[in-house]
Structure 1
């Protein structure tokens, strides 16, 4: 393999970084450089190229909208006269010229994939859930050596074009979570809120806990403080080992992001899924597939407090081993092997 592998990590949420770390730790024979905004000090010792921010204003979240009416259809986000974007483009192309990578993995950004191709660098493009058949995504898929989906093929959006599916390598199990060696706490409900969403409503969580006094509610991730906190509700904030919390809980409540869905499936946890709004209906699509396969209870919005006892009973009827086929315990290693093979051979392997 001539040159190493660059791996672009999007800065919205933390799932992209977690995937990158899982894969990079499984690739001892290849030097992987993580590339992205805000990565310095967060790559567990892996080489890193930190890029300037591309958001429209400092401190704002990233919603993917640039409000440009004259943007080419092959791009999603291309504001003009933005110093951060000018500098990040220059920094990436300078790194490509200096390091001459064999491959750039893009998770995710149509613009980074196009920039890499213009800089004569082949790409592997991560395809998230939802119906991504717009011109920009299709061009990114078409220009990539292969497309990598961080989920099992049974969770894919049925409406995706056949040629995209045939170019896709499905890699489930891109999570560090595993089944706990400790006993599962059947009386514990774990509510999980990620970095890319609105966070938990403390008063709604408190009402749910009061409606289910025999359950212990534990909340990880961002959540507001309730006006009055019942004794069976604990707000833990950010925790170092979310996977262990998920594995020990009797029931997990959370959104349909790839990281949480992967962790729930990996640990064999029962799941109540509340998909959050995302571009291309990413989470809604994934949640519908989970419901169709009978491996999760799916709700459109946070339920009334009085509904929780019935929902918990319904979730307890889910076969905890029913989703086992959707998880590859060696998923990160298989993804790393796939990337190394393409970097070495210069061509993709068949989809699995």
Structure 2
């Protein structure tokens, strides 16, 4: 059995988990406080929320951790639930996407830990701790395009997967001549973004030379692939899942990074802009700025999205997880301490 902790913020962690788990032979238990009903997992353990207390006291333990508020009954029950599951199931390994505290809890139980690493500047004490104690680190991007210096110290256990997309195995639409009225797809995430349905309607009214479509604003779409395939340009935030899906579809893009801790999306957007794979802007542009941005995106060679390496990324992650799980099931004898 392999455990897989899924952070509850947004949909990206869940989608990535089910994409990777589809490549694993071993049964997987999902550990999450997110409401999911997913056949990708053998079992789902629903965790109590750890952010419902009225008062928050010393949540970072003097900046050594990220979220451990004192006296929070939800936190206590959450960690107890994970510990009880470990005691009952004796997992060969646990994948953590993402939580310093859950990774540390698993390692304190003697369970091998594989943790996802995220873009941005992750040099604070809690991140250093989790990167130190993890058996393997999974980076869901290609090292050739984004090689943060803070990961160099962990080069021996960092695996650069490429972008993990649920659509990597599906064929992108055939290239076609630019239509007279290009379709612009505005893609928003469940974790929040800088644009709204009203702002898109304003653009559509002002620029009817484009066919404006949306997904994820007031119309969540379970299967985004058909909309991606018919789009000529995609406007999106710079979350890892969105970028990987755009790369899999090989679509020109304008990316607007959302504000996330540690500059996560800004780091991704900067790497993509520097590589010439996408047009990026820091904030939702004024309506009159959109034609120039869309035309700039249309001039990009979308075939270069192959450099984001979505093909085989989930399988590469699964291979690392299985390797760590096998090693953890075969403990090495140690000499007694004198």
* TM-score (structure 1 length as normaliser): 0.86
Comparing 244-253 with 197-206, greater Cα deviation is found at 197-206
Among residues 30, 33, 53, which one is paired with 1:37 in the alignment?
33
SS in 1 for 2:295: helix
Match of 2:189 in 1: 194
1:97 is aligned to 2:94: no
1:76-95 correspondence runs (5 A): 76-95=66-85
Instruction: Find the aligned partners of 1:338 and 1:300 in 2 and give their Cα distance.
Output: 35
Q: CA deviation at 1:151?
A: 1.4
Task: Report if aligned partners of 2:67, 2:101 keep a CA contact under 8 Å in 1.
Answer: yes
Structure 1 unaligned regions, length at least 5: 59-64, 224-236, 348-352
Using a 3 Å threshold, how does the CA distance of structure 1 residues 156 and 282 change in structure 2: closer, same or farther? same
SS in 2 for 1:180: coil
Using a 3 Å threshold, how does the CA distance of structure 1 residues 40 and 310 change in structure 2: closer, same or farther? closer
Instruction: Find the aligned partners of 1:49 and 1:295 in 2 and give their Cα distance.
Output: 39
Comparing 330-339 with 248-257, greater Cα deviation is found at 330-339
Instruction: Find the aligned partners of 2:254 and 2:156 in 1 and give their Cα distance.
Output: 31
Q: CA deviation at 1:198?
A: 4.2
SS in 2 for 1:322: helix
Structure 2 unaligned regions, length at least 5: 330-338
Instruction: Find the aligned partners of 1:198 and 1:257 in 2 and give their Cα distance.
Output: 10
Among residues 313, 316, 325, which one is paired with 1:343 in the alignment?
325
Using a 3 Å threshold, how does the CA distance of structure 1 residues 179 and 308 change in structure 2: closer, same or farther? farther
Match of 1:19 in 2: 16
Task: Report if aligned partners of 2:257, 2:266 keep a CA contact under 8 Å in 1.
Answer: yes
Per-residue deviation, residues 27-79 of structure 1 (Å, max 9, x unmatched): 1x211111111344245453111111112359xxxxxx956277143310111
Match of 2:290 in 1: 308
Instruction: Find the aligned partners of 2:187 and 2:53 in 1 and give their Cα distance.
Output: 28
Per-residue deviation, residues 53-109 of structure 1 (Å, max 9, x unmatched): 112359xxxxxx956277143310111221211111111101111111111110000
1:294 is aligned to 2:294: no
1:217 is aligned to 2:236: no
Q: CA deviation at 1:14?
A: 0.8
SS in 2 for 1:200: coil
Q: CA deviation at 1:118?
A: 1.3
Instruction: Find the aligned partners of 1:70 and 1:193 in 2 and give their Cα distance.
Output: 31
Instruction: Find the aligned partners of 1:150 and 1:135 in 2 and give their Cα distance.
Output: 22
* TM-score (structure 2 length as normaliser): 0.89
Using a 3 Å threshold, how does the CA distance of structure 1 residues 114 and 273 change in structure 2: closer, same or farther? same
Per-residue deviation, residues 1-37 of structure 1 (Å, max 9, x unmatched): xxx210100000111110110111111x211111111
Among residues 132, 136, 142, which one is paired with 1:142 in the alignment?
132
Match of 2:333 in 1: none
Per-residue deviation, residues 95-140 of structure 1 (Å, max 9, x unmatched): 1111111111100000001111111111011101111111100110
Instruction: Find the aligned partners of 2:294 and 2:53 in 1 and give their Cα distance.
Output: 42
Among residues 48, 56, 70, which one is paired with 1:52 in the alignment?
48
Instruction: Find the aligned partners of 1:283 and 1:250 in 2 and give their Cα distance.
Output: 23
